[in-house]
Amino acid sequence: MTRKLSYAEALLEATHQEMAHDPSVVVLGMGVDDFRGIYGTTKGLAETFGPERCFDTPLSEDAMTGVAIGAALGGMRPIHVHIRMDFVLLCMNQLLNIAAKARYMYGASVSVPIVVRSVIGRSWGQGAQHSQGLHSLFMHVPGLKVVAPSTPYDAKGCLVQAIRDNNPVMFVEHRMLHFQRGTVPEHLYALPFGHARVLSPGTDVTIVGISYMAVESLRAQSLLAEVGISAEVIDPVSLLPLDVDTIAASVAKTGRLLIVDTAWTSCGATAEIVTAVFERLGGRSVPFRRLGYAAAPCPTTKNLENLYYPTPATIAQAAHSLVRGDKQPWQPRSVEAPEVVEFKGPF
Amino acid sequence: MNQTEVFYRQVLRIRRVEEEVARVYPTDKIKSPVHLSIGQEGVSVGICAALRKTDVVCPTYRGHALYLAKGGDLNAMIAELYGKVTGCTRGKGGSMHLIDVAAGVLGASAIVGTTIPLAVGYAYAQRVKKTDTVVASFFGDGAVDEGAFHESMNFAALHKLPVLFVCENNFYSIHSPQLARQPHANLCDRASSYGVKSEQLDGCDVPELYARAQAAVESVRAGDGPRFLECMTYRFREHVGPNEDFHAGYRSREEAEPWFARDPLRLLGQRLDPIVRTRIEAEVELEIADAFAFAESSPFPPSEELLADVYLEAQ
């Protein structure tokens, strides 16, 4: 099976197949039924399944989240799509106070099987309010699940699982991932959460790349190979629940840990993963580094934006210093991600 | 049993349950903030009489009356207030999160306005599933200040969803009077601006409220879109807790007197033979005593319940 799809096509196929398979699956969100169809990820669903099962929403993120939850209480499996994760901040009350708690707070009388898809933007002037990776906010809250797959294969399997899951699932997509291509089986399959994926094995340092940073970490791995360093790149895929075992086993093997996030590091996923790994290793710590957004809102101008994100070069450099120490400075060649260079927006 | 007897029994049952809650409260057996409905019971009773058993209501944290009026299990409610495992949420929700799915009572929320869009979403699901279920969303005059109210009205009207919006206007959001929060006392106008047919009703006159609610529910069920009912009512006790609070200064006993005179329980009772009233009262007392005894004798949840039901995993 070598059929290749883009990440965006994989999301559409997962949604289309699940909607065909289960009449309770509905899709809602601003623009889900328009001619762009959220980068093609919802394109044609309204035409195929009708306007009741795929519908545009007013600009009412708070209430529409409540509507999705209420529909789930009424027997639906809604997928609520946000073209930017920044908009999910308008949904926090419903997500944290109702969705995350309903199962527990109502004594197991109900469940809330909703999927909240949201896209982290980047580049070409997305700026402070179109580029935030806010997944760690949701990792804090019991009752939610958070997944951020990086490959088209995992995107399809995780979205199917998210739809079938009986709990609220935050499905985090990075805009730059939509262009990634990879092998995706045509049949329906679900990938259970809580399983990290070793994208590429290595022996000297473990690099955990979250969401799009998994792609950038693989590029860093190539740079490191040029100087004889073997990096193991892991995509956690599922952030809550987190597969601590796989990451800790890798760290036990390599003795070094670098975690790269498409988000800030403070109180973030990187902090949680480091802590969870060291706890799993019985309190033993190993040399580690964290990389993420610069501790500022995202600027729009290109030269500052270039400094804002971890890049293959900065990732490779951080891994290099973990392995060889800071006394052997190394300047890897600059690798610009083609999807970032080619991206011309607007969204 | 004639209709007045039915209404009297229901209002009395809710009143006496809450008076018992208030009586037990100083013992600290009920470790839960209680927002009593005393004085406001008529609204829940009148509206629920117009609903079918299969219809659904979305209550607020001041939800004892609605829970009971819709048929929520009394034993499970009192046990919940006591924090017992036999409670309607196994001791995990307390007074502010009552639920009885079998009776059509969706869970109540402590965050004002949050259940309004839930009702709309539940109604959307009914549309997709092609049922004729009506969803009644209950909220107070404070919730109308929330954005979620307006967003929900807009969406429900847009899709002509089967929702009955019931605003229990008791004139106060905690201690803030309506006109300290809103420039005009015009809740019906607000609803009408979304194209939702609206009426202001007397929440103390249960038979009249029932008749008007019936017409509204019929229209909603027929697919004519949502309706908005503003039911004027009055909270006799403090915002939260078992006592009166007329000494607190934000409202006076004089202001309350006309509402005491039009207490829905009193209005209904006046229409009944004292012998009938006495019989109903005796029956209600027996049922309530049983419910409190059930709560007293029920066990607390075992320790393993702490981490149970955070998620629902497929078997």
Do A240 and A316 sit in the same domain of this protein? yes
The CA distance from A102 to A104, in Å, is 6
Flag whether A31 is in a domain.
yes
Do A172 and A305 sit in the same domain of this protein? no
**Contacts A141 to B, Cβ<8 Å:** none
**Contacts B87 to A, Cβ<8 Å:** 107
Task: Report which of B146, B131, B142 is spatially closest to residue B167, judged by C-alpha positions.
Answer: B142
Q: Are B232 and B200 in contact (CB under 8 A)?
A: yes
Contacts across the A-B interface (CB distance below 8 Å): 152
Task: Specify the number of domains making up chain A.
Answer: 2
Q: Is B2 exposed, middle or buried (0-12, 13-18, 19+ CB in 10 A)?
A: exposed
Check whether A203 has a pLDDT greater than 70: yes
Q: Which of A67, A106, A110 sits opposite B117 (nearest CB)?
A: A67
Segment (H or E) for A316: helix A312-324
Flag whether B305 is in a domain.
no
Strands of B47-133 (E only): list them. Answer: 56-58
Q: Which residues constitute the domain of residue A24?
A: 4-183
Beta partners for B177?
A: B172
Task: Specify the number of domains making up chain B.
Answer: 1
Task: Report which of A184, A189, A92 is spatially closest to residue A132, judged by C-alpha positions.
Answer: A92
**Contacts A46 to B, Cβ<8 Å:** none
- Last residue within a domain, chosen from A148, A183, A218: A183
Task: Report which of A296, A289, A234 is spatially closest to residue A264, judged by C-alpha positions.
Answer: A296
Tokens in use for A182?
């990879």
Q: Which of A107, A143, A145 sits opposite B92 (nearest CB)?
A: A107
Flag whether A176 is in a domain.
yes
The CA distance from A4 to A17, in Å, is 17
**B83-99: b or e for each residue (b if 16 or more CB lie within 10 Å)?**
bbbbbbbbbbbbbbbbb
Do A247 and A161 sit in the same domain of this protein? no
Non-local CB neighbours of B273 within 8 Å, separated by 6+ positions: none
Determine whether the interchain pair A109/B99 forms a contact, defined as Cβ–Cβ distance below 8 Å.
yes
Q: Are B60 and B95 in contact (CB under 8 A)?
A: no
Flag whether B253 is in a domain.
yes
Q: Which residues constitute the domain of residue B7?
A: 3-298
Measure in Å the smallest separation between the Cα of A324 and chain B Cα atoms: 44
The two beta strands, A77-82 and A115-120, are parallel
Measure in Å the smallest separation between the Cα of B82 and chain A Cα atoms: 15
Do A226 and A147 sit in the same domain of this protein? no
Do A261 and A336 sit in the same domain of this protein? yes
Mutate to test the interface with B, among A60, A87, A109 (most CBs of B within 10 A): A109
Determine whether the interchain pair A67/B312 forms a contact, defined as Cβ–Cβ distance below 8 Å.
no
pLDDT tens column, B200-259? 999 999 999 999 999 999 999 999 999 999 999 999 999 999 999 999 999 999 999 999
Do A154 and A29 sit in the same domain of this protein? yes
For residue B214, the tally of other CB atoms under 10 A from its CB is 15
Measure in Å the smallest separation between the Cα of A160 and chain B Cα atoms: 14
Q: Which residue of A has its CA nearest to B55?
A: A74
- Last residue within a domain, chosen from A183, A216, A233: A183
Do A143 and A206 sit in the same domain of this protein? no
CATH of the domain at B69: 3.40.50.970
- Last residue within a domain, chosen from A152, A183, A214: A183
pLDDT tens column, B54-67? 999 999 999 999 99
The CA distance from A267 to A276, in Å, is 13
pLDDT tens column, A228-280? 999 999 999 999 999 999 999 999 999 999 999 999 999 999 999 999 999 99
Q: Which of A26, A111, A142 sits opposite B128 (nearest CB)?
A: A26
Amino acid, single-letter form, for residue B142: G
pLDDT tens column, B84-119? 999 999 999 999 999 999 999 999 999 999 999 999
The CA distance from A299 to A312, in Å, is 20
Flag whether A347 is in a domain.
no
Non-local CB neighbours of B41 within 8 Å, separated by 6+ positions: B10, B11, B14, B15, B65, B69, B264, B265
Flag whether A190 is in a domain.
no
For residue A345, the tally of other CB atoms under 10 A from its CB is 11
Determine whether the interchain pair B111/A67 forms a contact, defined as Cβ–Cβ distance below 8 Å.
no
Q: For position A1, what pLDDT does the model report?
A: 59
Q: How confident is the model at residue A345 (pLDDT cuts 50, 70, 90)?
A: confident
pLDDT tens column, A52-71? 999 999 999 999 999 999 99
The CA distance from A152 to A164, in Å, is 18
Non-local CB neighbours of A235 within 8 Å, separated by 6+ positions: A149, A150, A151, A154, A196, A197, A199, A208, A209, A210, A214
Do A60 and A131 sit in the same domain of this protein? yes
Do A154 and A285 sit in the same domain of this protein? no
ipTM of this predicted structure = 0.97
Flag whether B219 is in a domain.
yes
CA torsion sign for A206, A212, A217, A218 is positive
